[in-house]
Amino acid sequence: MTEFAEFMERALYDPEHGFYESGRAGRRGGHFITSPEIGPLFGAVIGWMLDRRWEELGCPDPFTVIDAGAGPGTLARTVATAEPDCTPALRWINVERSTAGRSAHTVGESTPGMPHGPITGVILANELLDNLPLRLFDSDGDEVGDRPASSETRLTPRQDQACAWLAHALSILSQGTVVVIDYMSTTEEMASRPWPEWLRTYRGHERGDDPWTAPGTQDITCEVALDQLSAVCQPTRVTDQAAWLKAHGINKLVAEGSAAWQAGAARGDLAALAGRSRAIEAEALLDPDGLGGFTVAEWEVPATN
CATH number of the domain within which 210 lies: 3.40.50.12710
19-23, 37-41, 187-191, 209-213: least confidently modelled range: 19-23
Any domain includes 286: no
Average pLDDT of the segment spanning 89-104: 94
Q: How many structural domains does the chain have?
A: 1
Q: Does pTM top 0.85 for this prediction?
A: yes
Mind listing the pLDDT tens digit for each residue in 175-222? 999 999 999 999 999 999 999 999 999 987 688 889 999 899 999 999
Mean pLDDT computed over 37-49: 95
Query: Is the pLDDT confidence value at 232 over 70?
Result: yes
In this predicted structure, what is the pLDDT of residue 282?
Answer: 92
Structural domain boundaries, residue 135: 4-246+291-301
Per-residue pLDDT band for 31 (boundaries 50, 70, 90) equals: very low
When pLDDT is cut at 50, 70 and 90, the band that residue 30 belongs to is very low
Please report the pLDDT score of residue 204 as a whole number: 77
Look at residue 273 and tell me if it is in a domain.
Answer: no
User: What does the pLDDT average to over 268-288?
Assistant: 78
Average confidence (pLDDT) over 7-22: 90
pLDDT band with cut points at 50, 70 and 90 for residue 100: confident
pLDDT tens-digit map of 248-267: 999 999 888 777 666 665 45
- Does a structural domain hold residue 282? no
* In a domain? residue 66: yes
Domain contains 256: no
Question: Does residue 266 form part of some domain?
Answer: no
**pLDDT score at 69:** 95
Domain membership flag for residue 17: yes
pLDDT value at residue 209: 86
What pLDDT was estimated at residue 268? 56
- Assigned domain for 24 exists: yes
For residue range 119-168, what is the model confidence (pLDDT) as tens digits? Answer: 999 999 999 999 999 999 999 999 999 999 789 999 999 999 999 999 99
- pLDDT of 305 reads 42
C-alpha–C-alpha distance, residues 155 and 211, integer Å:
14
